[in-house]
C-alpha cells in the first residue's frame, strides 16, 4: 500500500509542479494573523478577499495563508507566496512589518501592501483605516443615550491605534456632554470571548450603562444584551448578537481598497503610497443606527456626514491632555504623525494609561 502511494506521489509530482495559471489573471495573495473564521479582524480581511474574487471574477486569482504567527514564520510564508507567483501580497497585521520589508527587498517585482504599519519601500505600500472617525460618532451617540453619563470601554492593548480610539470616543461624547466619563478596562487580548465578557460584566457592575469595545469578539455584546444595556459592535456588524442592544458598529470594509489596488497592479499604475483612508473612502462603514430615538439617529447621521465631508475633524482643539496641559489650541487639528504615535489620554478618561 505504502509503495503504491509513494509511486503515485512520484507520478503526481510532475503534474503538480506545473503551474496551472492563466496568464491574464492577477494573482493577489493575503496573509492573516488569525484564522479566516476568527469572527473579527482576519475574517474581515477574508470577507474582503472573497468579495474581490466575486467582483473581479476571472481577472483575479486569490490565495491566502491563515493563522500565521508574527515573526520568522511570517517571513517564510511571505517568501513562499512571492515565489508562488503572487503579483500583489497584502500583509494584514501590524506585526508582519519587518518581515514584509525584508521580503519586499528580495522580490522587487512583487508589490507588497502592509496594513497599519509605517515602513514603506518602492514596492511596499502601507494602508490603514481611520477607525477613530467611527469611534467619534459612537461617542456622540453614547453621550445622548447614556442616562448616567458614563461609558465603559473594553480595550485590548495600549498601542496608539487603541489609545486614539479611546480619545476619539470621549471627544465625541464630550461634544454632547462635557462632563461625560469613561471607564477603561484593558483585557490584554484581542480575542477571548469569555474574558471580554467578564470585562463587560465588571464595567456594568461598576455602574456604566453603555459598553464599547476595541476587542473583536461578540462576548461583551452578549453580556450587554443579557443585562439590558446598550453597546457598540466592533470590526463587524454584531447585530445578531444583540438585536435590541447594538446601537451601531464600526465595520471594517477593506474590499473597495483591495479592488482598487489589485486593479492598479493589473493596469500597471500601482505605486507605493502611505494610505490612511477614512469613512469617506468606504474603508470603514457604520452599521445601521439602531435602538435609538430618531433625534439621536439624526445627530449620528449628521456627524457621519460632517466627518465624510471633512467639515468635522475629531481631533480639533481646544483639547487638553489628561494631566491638564494644553494639547491643541482652539481650531487647531492634530497632524497624522501625532495620532499614529499617540500615547496619552485626553482630559476626562478615568484610567491611567499603561506605559
Partner 1 sequence: MRFELVRRPERSALFSALSPFLAFGLTLIAGAILFALIGQNPVNALYSYFVEPLTEIWSLHELAIKAAPLILIAVGLTICYRSNNWNIGAEGQFIIGGIVGSILPVLYPEFQSPLVLPLMLLMGMVGGAVYAAVPAFLKARFNTNEILTSLMLVYVAQLLLDWLVRGPWRNPGGMNFPETRQFDAQAVLPELFPSSGRANWGIVFALVAAVLAWLMLSRTLKGFEIRVMGASPRAARFAGFSAKRMVFFVFLLSGALAGLAGISEVSGAIGQLRPTISPGYGFTAIIVAFLGRLNPLGAVAAGLLLALTYLGGEAAQISLGVSEKVARVFQGMLLFFVLGCDTLIHYRIRRVAQAIAPSSITDTPAASSSEAAALEAGGTGGAR
Partner 2 sequence: MGLAESILLTIATAATPLLIAALGELVVERSGVLNLGVEGMMVIGAVCGFAGAALSGSPWIGVLCGVLAGALFSLLFGVLTITVATNQVATGLSLTLLGLGLSGLIGESFVGSPGLRLPNLYVPGLTDIPLVGRLLFGQDPIFYISILLLIGVSWFLFRTRTGLTLRAIGDSHASAHALGIEVVAYRYAAVLFGGACAGLAGAHLSLVYTPQWVENMTAGRGWIALALVVFASWRPMRILFGAYLFGAVSIGQLHAQALGVGIPSQFLSALPYLATVVVLVIISRNRRLTMMNTPASLGQPFVPER
Among 21, 54, 84, 244, binds partner 1 (CB under 8 A): 84
81 is a contact residue toward partner 2 (CB under 8 A): no
Judged on CB neighbours under 10 Å (0-12, 13-18, 19+), 41 is buried
Write the interaction track for partner 1 spanning residues 114-153; mark x where CB under 8 A is met and - where it is not. Answer: ----x-----------------------------------
**What are the distances in angstroms from CA 132 to CA 147, 149, 172, 267, 277?**
24, 21, 10, 33, 11
Cα dihedral sign for 289, 294, 300, 301?
A: positive
Among partner 1, partner 2, none, the one that 308 touches (CB under a kind-dependent 5 to 8 A) is none
Among partner 2, partner 1, none, the one that 233 touches (CB under a kind-dependent 5 to 8 A) is none
- Residues 178, 312: Cα–Cα separation, whole Å: 18
290 is a contact residue toward partner 1 (CB under 8 A): no
- Residues 89, 74: Cα–Cα separation, whole Å: 12
Minimum CB distance to partner 1, residue 208 (Å)? 26
Among partner 1, partner 2, none, the one that 175 touches (CB under a kind-dependent 5 to 8 A) is none
Among partner 2, partner 1, none, the one that 183 touches (CB under a kind-dependent 5 to 8 A) is partner 2
Minimum CB distance to partner 1, residue 16 (Å)? 5
Among 59, 340, 347, 348, binds partner 1 (CB under 8 A): 340
| Closer by beta carbon to partner 1, 55 or else 98 | 98
Minimum CB distance to partner 1, residue 187 (Å)? 13
Write the interaction track for partner 2 spanning residues 190-219; mark x where CB under 8 A is met and - where it is not. Answer: -xxxxxxxxx-xxxxxx----------xxx
- Residues 18, 6: Cα–Cα separation, whole Å: 19
| Closer by beta carbon to partner 1, 48 or else 208 | 48
Q: Which residues within the stretch 245-264 sit at the binding site for partner 2 (CB under 8 A)?
A: none
Binding segment for partner 1 among 2-10, 147-155, 176-184, 238-246 (CB under 8 A)?
Answer: 2-10
Write the interaction track for partner 2 spanning residues 15-54; mark x where CB under 8 A is met and - where it is not. Answer: --------------------x-xxx---x-----------
79 is a contact residue toward partner 1 (CB under 8 A): yes
107 is a contact residue toward partner 1 (CB under 8 A): no
188 is a contact residue toward partner 1 (CB under 8 A): yes
Among partner 1, partner 2, none, the one that 25 touches (CB under a kind-dependent 5 to 8 A) is none
Which residues share a beta bridge with 63? 29
Q: Which residues within the stretch 170-189 sit at the binding site for partner 2 (CB under 8 A)?
A: 183-189
- Residues 239, 243: Cα–Cα separation, whole Å: 5
**Footprint of partner 1 (CB under 8 A):** 1-2, 5, 8-9, 11-13, 16-17, 29, 35, 63-73, 75-77, 79-81, 83-84, 94-95, 98, 118, 157-160, 188, 340-343, 354-355
**Footprint of partner 2 (CB under 8 A):** 35, 37-39, 43, 152, 183-189, 191-199, 201-206, 217-219, 222, 226, 236, 240-241, 350-352, 354-355
Amino acid at each position: 500500500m505504502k509503495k503504491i502511494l509513494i509511486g503515485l506521489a512520484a507520478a503526481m509530482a510532475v503534474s503538480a509542479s506545473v503551474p496551472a495559471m492563466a496568464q491574464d489573471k492577477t494573482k493577489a495573495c493575503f496573509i492573516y494573523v488569525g484564522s479566516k473564521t476568527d469572527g473579527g479582524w482576519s475574517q474581515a480581511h477574508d470577507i474582503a478577499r472573497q468579495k474581490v474574487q466575486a467582483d473581479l471574477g476571472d481577472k483575479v486569482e486569490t490565495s491566502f495563508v491563515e493563522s500565521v504567527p508574527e515573526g520568522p514564520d511570517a517571513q517564510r510564508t511571505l517568501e513562499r507566496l512571492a515565489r508562488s507567483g503572487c503579483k500583489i501580497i497584502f500583509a494584514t497585521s501590524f506585526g508582519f512589518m519587518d518581515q514584509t520589508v525584508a521580503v519586499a527587498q528580495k522580490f522587487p517585482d512583487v508589490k507588497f501592501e502592509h496594513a497599519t504599519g509605517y515602513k514603506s519601500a518602492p514596492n511596499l505600500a502601507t494602508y490603514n483605516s481611520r477607525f477613530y472617525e467611527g469611534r467619534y460618532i459612537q461617542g456622540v451617540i453614547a453621550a445622548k443615550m447614556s442616562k448616567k453619563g458614563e461609558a465603559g470601554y473594553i480595550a485590548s492593548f495600549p498601542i496608539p491605534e487603541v489609545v486614539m480610539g479611546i480619545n476619539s470616543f470621549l471627544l465625541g461624547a464630550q461634544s454632547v456632554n462635557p462632563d461625560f466619563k469613561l471607564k477603561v478596562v484593558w483585557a490584554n487580548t484581542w480575542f477571548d470571548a469569555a474574558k471580554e465578557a467578564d470585562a463587560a460584566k465588571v464595567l456594568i457592575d461598576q455602574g456604566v450603562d453603555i459598553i464599547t469595545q476595541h476587542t473583536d469578539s461578540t462576548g461583551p455584546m452578549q453580556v450587554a444584551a443579557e443585562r439590558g444595556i446598550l453597546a457598540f459592535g466592533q470590526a463587524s456588524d454584531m447585530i445578531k448578537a444583540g438585536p435590541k442592544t447594538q446601537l451601531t458598529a464600526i465595520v471594517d470594509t477593506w474590499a473597495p481598497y483591495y479592488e482598487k489596488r489589485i486593479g492598479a497592479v493589473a493596469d500597471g499604475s500601482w505605486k507605493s503610497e502611505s494610505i490612511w483612508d477614512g469613512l469617506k473612502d468606504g474603508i470603514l462603514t457604520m452599521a445601521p443606527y439602531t435602538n435609538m430615538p430618531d433625534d439621536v439617529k439624526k445627530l449620528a447621521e449628521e456627524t457621519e456626514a460632517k466627518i465624510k465631508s471633512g467639515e468635522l475633524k475629531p481631533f480639533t482643539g481646544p483639547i487638553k491632555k489628561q494631566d491638564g496641559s494644553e494639547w491643541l489650541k482652539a481650531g487647531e487639528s492634530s497632524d497624522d504623525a501625532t495620532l499614529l504615535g499617540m500615547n496619552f489620554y485626553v482630559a476626562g478618561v478615568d484610567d491611567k494609561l499603561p506605559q
